[in-house]
């Protein structure tokens, strides 16, 4: 059964919509949300369609459902604030970019955290690097009940936190720590979406803060450079050297929070009152 673990932190007239990753949970965005709220932002930590339940719940949805839930959350939130920013981790970063491409009039700026167009990090096993073939297998009806299991270091350089999160995940608490792996059909959907968004990146005109771990175990930093090369708006890069993939909760999360708050505040300060009313 799907549990609702979305969160809301009330603050000022600048809002940030936070999007978690594939098989993840809003909990992985909560510390960033709290930090941004402490900096004066209103924050919504949304929950993607089909998430925070079991694998069957997730498989029952596809990338268009995930994006529809993002767009619905943004549509609601944007009427409560003068400036709406969107930020996401991993696949959540891809969804944030799609929202900025599809709804440029809504979005003042984007936080792209650990963008994952391909699973090509140093800890991904050789067969995991072939997951780009999953859309073909999915179309052929192969592997519907198979899963690519998570493995050490679970996106976390902080060993204490890694032990805590892996215990929750492997213990079946998907609302707190996500699923212990990626179902093949869901990975296929993610790759299909990534291909669409990659073509749409030039439509992203909003300023982007692109944050990525230099030693990302799940998605290499080349994913970040792809975004930086392809979007049309201004780019600010933040490369983190003491974290793995889960940069929103790993060792340098405070740096990520500080730079995000600084970036969003700077962008908001450049927008005129007329543009603020549209946002």
**According to the model, what pLDDT value does residue 167 have?**
77
Confidence of residue 277 (pLDDT cuts 50, 70, 90): very low
pTM: 0.89
**According to the model, what pLDDT value does residue 274 have?**
35
Q: Are 183 and 55 in contact (CB under 8 A)?
A: yes
Q: How far is CA 255 from CA 39, 201, 212, 226, 242, in A?
A: 13, 26, 12, 23, 11
Locate the domains of the chain by residue range. 7-278
> For the segment 222-274, what is each residue's pLDDT rounded down to a tens digit?
999 999 999 999 999 999 999 999 999 999 999 999 999 999 999 999 986 43
> For the segment 84-135, what is each residue's pLDDT rounded down to a tens digit?
999 999 999 999 999 999 999 999 999 999 999 999 998 886 455 556 655 5
Residue closest to 73 by CA, chosen among 90, 88, 57, 59: 88
How far is it, in rounded angstroms, from Cα 246 to Cα 166? 13
pLDDT at 276 over 50: no
**CATH of region 7-278, choose from 1.10.760.10, 3.40.50.970, 3.40.50.1820, 3.30.365.10:** 3.40.50.1820
> For the segment 178-216, what is each residue's pLDDT rounded down to a tens digit?
666 778 788 889 999 999 999 999 999 999 999 999 999
């Amino acid at each position: 059964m799907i549990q609702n673990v979305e969160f809301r932190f009330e603050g000022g007239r600048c809002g940030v919509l936070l999007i978690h990753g594939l098989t993840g949970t809003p909990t992985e965005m909560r510390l960033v949300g709290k930090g941004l709220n402490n900096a004066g932002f209103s924050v919504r930590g949304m929950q993607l369609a089909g998430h925070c339940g079991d694998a069957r719940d997730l498989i029952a949805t596809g990338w268009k459902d995930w994006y529809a839930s993002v767009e619905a959350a943004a549509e609601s939130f944007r009427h409560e604030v003068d400036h709406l920013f969107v930020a996401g981790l991993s696949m959540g970063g891809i969804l944030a970019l799609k929202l900025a491409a599809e709804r440029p009039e809504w979005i003042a700026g984007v936080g792209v955290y650990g963008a994952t167009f391909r699973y090509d990090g140093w800890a991904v096993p050789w067969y995991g690097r072939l997951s780009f073939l999953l859309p073909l297998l999915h179309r052929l009806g192969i592997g519907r009940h198979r899963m690519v299991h998570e493995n050490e270091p679970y996106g976390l350089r902080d060993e204490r936190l890694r032990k805590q999160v892996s215990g929750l995940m492997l213990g079946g608490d998907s609302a707190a720590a996500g699923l212990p792996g990626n179902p093949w059909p869901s990975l296929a959907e993610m790759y299909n979406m990534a291909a669409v968004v990659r073509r749409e990146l030039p439509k992203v005109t909003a300023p982007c803060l692109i944050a990525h771990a230099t030693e990302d175990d799940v998605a290499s930093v080349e994913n970040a450079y792809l975004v930086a090369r392809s979007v049309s708006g201004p780019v600010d890069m933040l490369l983190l050297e003491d974290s793995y993939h889960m940069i929103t909760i790993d060792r340098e999360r405070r740096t990520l929070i500080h730079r995000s708050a600084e970036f969003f505040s700077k962008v908001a300060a450049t927008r005129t009152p007329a543009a603020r009313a549209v946002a």
